[in-house]
Amino acid sequence: MKTLNDFNFKNKKALIRVDFNVPLNDEFQVTDDTRIQAAKPTIIKILEDGGSCVLMSHLGRPKGKEDQFSLRHIADKVSEVIGVQVKFVNDCIGEEVAEAVDNLKAGEILLLENLRFYEEEKNGDVAFAEQLSQWGDVYVNDAFGTAHREHASTAIIAQFFPENKCFGSLLATEIESIDKVLNNSEKPVTAILGGAKVSSKIGIVENIIEKVDHIIIGGGMTFTFIKALGGTIGNSLVEDDKLQLALDILKLAEEKDTKIHLPVDALIADAFSNDANTQTVDTYEIPDGWMGLDVGPETSDNFAQVIAESKTILWNGPLGVFELENFSKGTIELGNAITEATANGAFSLVGGGDSVAAVKQFGFGEKVSYVSTGGGAMLEMLEGKTLPGIEAVLK
Ligand code: AMP
């Protein structure tokens, strides 16, 4: 795996695919700069070597050249985060870009306009990728968030850099973190899978079941398992077409000697609301008209015990409807157990959409070993898929 350390960027132009798909408010101000911060180490290393950076990214899902999706809006934020005044050019291909790239000096940064202003980007157009490839001596992919897409700038472009291509430090760290959990892990390994549905996590379960020692199940998908096992689940979330699948997973786990831990009690509510009446009951005995929205205290204790004994921890998905305060306790207690295990020397990786939101909301981000920056990309890696953006750089 080639990384930045395999190159000296002195007097070289690095063409870096970053993921600056950041949220903006109504005044086009960046409301969360995590993704820009995440690209900083790569940019700084290249500048410190004596090179220059041409940054390319997408922003949102524009239909053609829509100004609200212009990367111009974020140029000041990038300058502030990196500490270097960033130059911006109104296009990502063509004459104007050629001139701006030509004039770029060592130590300077040029930000190109939104790649998705051209539909060729998402279509993975080879000619478009070739035009982009002119803007750098070395291609650096540091966009983990889009590594699962076979787009012009994320994968197709790599063929125009037969030798001079590598992973940026963010992407390299993401790859190493997942590898540390799934392939080079210190045992026991525990995966916590929460969130809404079994169907969206089944690919992960199938891929990790042989690699981990414990799988903790929480969130809405709990109830598909409980129903399949003969419990009464009231009005809880359920996927009736996945009952057999749930049983198959439990059977496979038994064959592979992987322990699956299901919640033994649930905090149930008579409505999907913070104002609902609540009570804690046995997960297998949820009355009609009530739904499980969080794990109960006995479950939290059980899960904490498993986590305390784990050396490697993967967390994907909340244990309850954490967005509603009254149903966030199980997720918070899980976060506490993971951070405590981390403080005691375990390696913990958090990734995939909502668990990252939960980790940020409750302030666990600094206390776990690594928080992944890619939702879909992370899920696909956990499913054991080879991501096009990674494969293209390895070729
Ligand atoms: P996912 O994107 O699959 O990780 O799902 C995350 C969502 O699952 C969050 O928005 C949670 O509110 C939701 N969730 C967690 N537990 C439950 C539950 N018991 N019932 C319904 N939704 C839940």
Q: How far apart are CA 32 and CA 368, in angstroms?
A: 20
**Considering the domain 185-382 in this protein, what is its CATH number?**
3.40.50.1260
Encode 284-300: b = buried (16+ Cβ within 10 Å), e = exposed.
bebeeebbbbbbbeebb
What atom of ligand 1 comes closest to residue 219's alpha carbon? 16
Task: Give residue-wise pLDDT tens across range 166-185.
Answer: 999 999 999 999 999 999 99
Residue of 321, 350, 355, 379 with the most ligand 1 atoms within 8 Å of its CB, for mutation: 321
**Considering the domain 4-172 in this protein, what is its CATH number?**
3.40.50.1260
Residue with the smallest CA separation from ligand 1 atom 1 is 195
Range 280-289 average pLDDT: 98
Q: Tell me how far CA of residue 260 lies from CA of 177, 335, 376, in angstroms.
A: 23, 19, 24
Range 310-326 average pLDDT: 96
Confidence of residue 349 (pLDDT cuts 50, 70, 90): very high
| Model confidence at 146: pLDDT above 80 | yes
Packing angle of the helix pair 329-343, 354-361 (nearest 10 deg): 80
Distance 221 CA to ligand 1 centre (A): 8
Question: 270, 277 in Cβ contact below 8 A?
Answer: yes
Range 354-381 average pLDDT: 88
Confidence of residue 277 (pLDDT cuts 50, 70, 90): very high
Predicted confidence at residue 289, as pLDDT, reads 97
Range 83-101 average pLDDT: 98
Positions of CATH 3.40.50.1260 in the chain? 4-172, 185-382
Strand partners, 88: 111
- Catalytic residue, chosen from 35, 149, 227, 329, is 35
Task: Quote the radius of gyration of the chain (alpha carbons, Å).
Answer: 23
Distance 298 CA to ligand 1 centre (A): 20
Confidence of residue 358 (pLDDT cuts 50, 70, 90): confident
Question: Within 10 A of 180 (CB to CB), how many other CB atoms are there?
Answer: 17
- Catalytic residue, chosen from 145, 195, 296, 353, is 353
| Model confidence at 374: pLDDT above 90 | no
Task: Give residue-wise pLDDT tens across range 20-66.
Answer: 999 999 999 999 998 999 999 999 999 999 999 999 999 999 999 99
State how beta strands 189-193 and 214-217 pair.
parallel
Encode 68-82: b = buried (16+ Cβ within 10 Å), e = exposed.
ebbbbbbbebbbebb
Give yes or no for a cis peptide into 388 (omega within 30° of 0).
no
Cβ < 6 Å from ligand 1: which residues? 195-197, 200, 219-220, 237, 292-293, 317-318, 320-321, 323, 353-354
Catalytic annotation present for 376: yes
| Model confidence at 222: pLDDT above 70 | yes
Predicted confidence at residue 360, as pLDDT, reads 85
Catalytic annotation present for 60: no
Mean of the per-residue pLDDT values of the chain: 96
Contacts of 262 (CB under 8 A, 6+ apart): 217, 222, 225, 226, 283
The helix/strand/coil state of 163 is coil
Contacts of 369 (CB under 8 A, 6+ apart): 177, 342, 346, 347, 348, 349
* Closest C-alpha among 41, 1, 35 to residue 145: 35
- Catalytic residue, chosen from 122, 197, 259, 360, is 197
Q: Which of 18-27, 231-240, 353-362, 382-391 has the lowest mean pLDDT?
A: 353-362
| Model confidence at 359: pLDDT above 90 | no
User: Would you state the structure tokens that stand for residue 37, as one six-digit string?
Assistant: 């911060």
| Model confidence at 353: pLDDT above 70 | no
Range 93-106 average pLDDT: 98
Predicted confidence at residue 357, as pLDDT, reads 80
Residue of 197, 237, 355 with the most ligand 1 atoms within 8 Å of its CB, for mutation: 237
Question: Whole-angstrom distance between the N-terminal and C-terminal Cα of the chain?
Answer: 10
